[in-house]
Amino acid sequence: MSSYIIEGSRTLSGDVTPAGNKNEALPVLAACLLTSEVVHLKRVPKIQDVLTLCEIIKDMGGRVEWTSDDCLSIEAKNIKHTSPREDLCTKIRAAILLMGPLLGRFGRVKLAPPGGDVIGARRIDTHFEGLTALGASLEWHHIIEGKVPKARGAEIVLDEPSVTATENILMMAVLCEGKTVIHNAASEPHVVGLCEMLISMGAKIQGVGTNRIDIEGVASLHGTTHQIGPDFMEVGSYLCLGAIGGGRVRINDIKVSDLRFALKTWERIGIKPEVGENWLEIDGSSPLKIANDISGRIGTIYSGPWPAFPTDLMSVTITAATQATGTMIFFEKMFEGRMFFTDKLINMGANIVLCDPHRIVVTGSSQLYSSKMSSPDVRAGMAMIMAACIAKGTSVIDNIYQVERGYFNVEKKLMQLGAAIKRVD
């Protein structure tokens, strides 16, 4: 098991550039299975989840080649089977994204239940309902098995705006005969990125970026070149770190439009960066102050589907809030395990009350002290790294595999900002 050793209380300043969006990279990798022609991908984050999905595609017979540090060439011309290796699938949640393209192009799939973060129940009913509506026959015992007697377009109403379910249905529907309409579709930037790639491959999609997506099926798709957008989860993580780091941190090469609601939310705990056309800069030497509601009551920050505040930014925002003067309630509506990492922050000196699996109360500002911790999931791991960077003393964070599944070059980027961090295998 690998660990980070972090000496805290260092001033953090400098420039950082986010990698490509992990949550876009994974579905576009899966979408490469929809064509026999070569697909070129740019700004691909070389993180563990991406490497695992590449290994799955290669095991099925696809050709995967890194042409540079962040560029991939993928050809799925000679796929030998549609039963991805169980040991690889159980490592990542993104394995579920193979269902749509394999059913859409090959008409069959045999898939182990996906793995991923331990942040609560992550149902796949919406995937089954949508793909079944398109003509798939699916069963789930120990293994998910599916075939398509006859693919057909359909009108589908999702029972939740699930990102991965929307993506799976999209990837099957683009090759179905007839028209498909997805109501209550997810509209996150990474869903938009997948749609843009599919359109460049010859798919006919309308309503991109809205909660109604119309797809007119085509007979086949061709190769393309697609650039993945910047990871706004990484942008948010380094912005929150910069806000409590004591120096000035500038984040370059970003899409500000991906952060509009998040920026509005962060203002409530005093994080107010300078915003440029494609950059943000935060002064971490300015004290943070939490704003109450207009009535004077304690405010609440909620997570929710796009364009609401993303659940994946909850953990890092909570760490930042421990350094802000005042009290704020955080209500995580989506995952009942997301908040459990806060016991690590409490052990470090944070003033946090865990009300129930979904709600906590944070009162700051609190001096944090070093601790030995283990990362339970990608986002909690980054939040713990943030806490260690500002804590007094030297902290050890184990199970950093979880962090490196979602963040590229964490150690290098933190060192560039002045953090004293060392990776130990």
Residue 295's CB is within 10 A of a number of other CB atoms, namely: 6
The Cα–Cα gap between 68 and 119 comes to 34
Closest CA to 391 of 262, 193, 244, 286: 244
Name the E strands within 60-209: 63-68, 71-75, 108-111, 137-140, 144-147, 155-157, 179-183, 204-206
For residue 144, the cross-strand partners are 111, 140
Residue 141's contacts (CB-CB under 8 Å, 6 or more residues apart) are none
> Cα–Cα–Cα angle for 403, 407, 408, nearest 5°?
125
Residue 399's contacts (CB-CB under 8 Å, 6 or more residues apart) are 1, 374, 375, 376, 381
Q: Which helix or strand (DSSP H or E) is residue 422 part of?
A: strand 420-424
- Taking phi over 0 as left and psi of -120 to 50 as alpha, with beta for the rest, 86 belongs to alpha
264: three-class secondary structure by DSSP? helix
- Compute CA distances 400 → 24, 245, 335, 405, whole Å: 22, 21, 21, 9
Closest CA to 203 of 170, 235, 181, 225: 170
Catalytic residues: 117
Handedness of CA 218, 222, 223, 224 (dihedral sign): negative
The Cα–Cα gap between 419 and 12 comes to 6
267: three-class secondary structure by DSSP? helix
DSSP class of residue 56?
A: H
The Cα–Cα gap between 129 and 148 comes to 14
Task: Yes or no: say if 364 and 290 are a contact pair by the CB < 8 Å rule.
Answer: yes
Residue 123's contacts (CB-CB under 8 Å, 6 or more residues apart) are none
